[in-house]
A and B are shown apart, each in its own frame.
Chain A
């Protein structure tokens, strides 16, 4: 069983559309994240949620809206897609909200979003 799974793996869409990426973890973790990897391979956190509550929002445009229906799911909805949104989006989860010894993040396989 995949610990952190994202769907879809690939997403090609036109500018102006609205799209969602889904993420589910079966690890029983309380904390989930979205990371963005840009064309230069730079990875940066976008959001973190703990028990369905938003904890970190790293100055992401408000066209991006995460939704956490329960602590095992963190979906990313993007409105009015722009060319610059093309990237690989990674979902992740971890056991702890606050860093502790043995804390690590488990990553999904990524969703490659291409906006044309």
Chain B
């Protein structure tokens, strides 16, 4: 069965700092990769996704992520965070071929201090 690890559980940054959130997955085959954001009290929103092609994908709100196949990683980055980026961030995978279900990481809480 697939699994997703997010090693940073709680990250605190000052505004304008750069962000990198780690995500590693465990699965023997090909996967589709996603990052979701959940603002306080809100629902899940898709930040970006990767299916194939250029391993560097750009999403909304200035976020990007890089898929490194050899490391089974899909880290999320943003050059300069804003207070409004304070939220919970979830990495997720959907394996190809088997019954499709989204497996989420445990989430990273990002707190941006003005």
Binding site for B on A (CB under 8 A): 31, 33, 35, 40-45, 48, 55-56, 90, 92, 94, 96-105, 107-110
B51 touching A41 by the CB < 8 A rule? no
A108 touching B43 by the CB < 8 A rule? yes
User: Which residues of chain B come closer than 8 Å to A40, judged between CB atoms?
Assistant: 106
Would you list 20 pairs from A and B whose C-beta atoms are within 8 A, ordered by A residue? Answer: A35-B102, A41-B106, A43-B90, A43-B104, A44-B104, A45-B103, A56-B99, A98-B96, A98-B97, A98-B98, A98-B99, A99-B97, A99-B99, A100-B96, A100-B97, A100-B100, A103-B32, A104-B49, A104-B94, A109-B43
Dominant SS at the B interface?
Answer: strand
A98 touching B100 by the CB < 8 A rule? yes
Q: Max chain A CB contacts within 10 Å: which of B44, B94, B98?
A: B44
Q: Is B88's beta carbon under 8 Å from chain A?
A: yes
User: Which residues of chain B come closer than 8 Å to A96, judged between CB atoms?
Assistant: 100
Binding site for A on B (CB under 8 A): 31-32, 34, 36, 38, 43-44, 46, 49, 51-52, 88, 90, 94-104, 106-107, 109
User: Which residues of chain B come closer than 8 Å to A103, judged between CB atoms?
Assistant: 32, 94, 96, 100
Residue from A90, A92, A101 in contact with B51 in the complex, judged by beta carbons closer than 8 Å: A101
User: Which residues of chain B come closer than 8 Å to A92, judged between CB atoms?
Assistant: 102
Closest to B45 in A: A107
C-alpha spacing A44/B2, complex, angstroms: 13
Residue from B34, B106, B107 in contact with A104 in the complex, judged by beta carbons closer than 8 Å: B34
C-alpha spacing A96/B51, complex, angstroms: 15
Closest to B106 in A: A42
